[in-house]
Amino acid sequence: MVKKNKKTIRGRISDLYRKSEFGYNLLRPFYKIYELCIRAIPDKLFIEWYFKRYMGYSIDLNNPKTLNEKITWLKLYDRSDLHTLVADKFTVRSYVAKKIGEKYLIPLLYHTKNASDLKPENLPDTSFIIKNNHDSGGYLIVKDKSSVDWPKVQKQFKRNLKENFYYSTREWQYKNIEPRIVVEELLSTENGEIPNDYKCHCFNGKLAFVHVDISRFGDRRRNLYDTNWNLIPCVWQYENGELEKKPELFDQMKSLAETIAKDFIYARIDFYLVKGHIYFGEISFHHHSGTQKFKTPECDLKLGQLLKLGIENE
């Protein structure tokens, strides 16, 4: 019970800092001190601590076995300039265009390095999404720009531009990305809803499984499918949802994912399928930073056995 209360307090402090102008100004000095302390911790020590904090047990980096353990191992030992290039949500566009073609890119509407440029006259009248190119998960969906508090948005993205996501998770590819704001067309289904994204987990250049999140902004559910679109009996963070029929363009999506992933040991390639067209979303090298628990732990081990790092003790 005490642990739960601590998490609640931590969450409330985080919300106060990130969502409130008063909270940000109040807590910023303390956060800077915390950040300086965190930066002083060597990567290996930090990664071991981070894993135990979220997974509840110590990782053996010399002999990782589960999927989460192997993803965590990759955070420390698999680093290259190419990882930085494609983790950048702006520069990845040129990389993907060369690999599979520009037609799979979500239309880019605007980009800037200055948050003050986020104002109605610079942005389209259509629906769009604003996001940073150098972090994970931060975005703003805009369907009617006249209803947006733009000074508030500018302040938020100005703060975001100052953050270095690397230090909070030690996912090295984010360390040297030049911060930028990207505005893309907001994809929507024929019913006007946000489409599901198909997250293709590729091991050693080949598709291993796909996970689909259902009702991401409501009662979130998640299904895992194998390479033949058979449901994998796993519960990964979220309970299973309604089964989805195999997408008509699944085989093409698989081929595209493998084309992009062939240069990497592990990569999660995200796609959207909208009105009969495939759109590339992003590339992730460390799903949930290697700390997303399976409610069926045996799946963590079984999937981990499929990912080969070249150090396994067979």
Give pLDDT, residue 2. 37
Strands of the sheet with 221-225, listed across from one edge: 231-232, 221-225, 206-214, 197-203, 266-274, 277-284
Q: Which residue has the tokens 């390095």?
A: 113
Q: Hey, CA dihedral for 235, 241, 245, 251, is it positive or negative?
A: negative
Which range among 112-126, 154-168, 213-227 has the greatest average pLDDT?
112-126
Where helices occur in 163-270 by DSSP H, the ranges are: 166-169, 250-261
Residue 6, pLDDT > 50, answer no
Query: Model confidence over 189-217: pLDDT tens digits?
Result: 888 888 889 999 999 999 999 999 887 76
Residue 5, pLDDT > 70, answer no
Rounded Cα distance, 241 and 60, in Å? 33
The residue that leads in pLDDT, 11 or 136, is 136
Give pLDDT, residue 214. 83
Nearest-CA neighbor of 290 among 30, 76, 10? 76
Report phi then psi at 184, rounded to 5.
-120, 160
Computed over every residue of the chain, the mean pLDDT equals 92
Query: Model confidence over 258-308: pLDDT tens digits?
Result: 999 999 999 999 999 999 999 999 999 999 999 999 999 999 999 999 999
The residue that leads in pLDDT, 102 or 195, is 102
Residue 229, Ramachandran bin (φ over 0: left; ψ between -120 and 50: alpha; else beta)? left
By the 8 A CB rule, do 96 and 104 touch?
yes
Structure tokens at 52: 């135990």
Give pLDDT, residue 154. 96
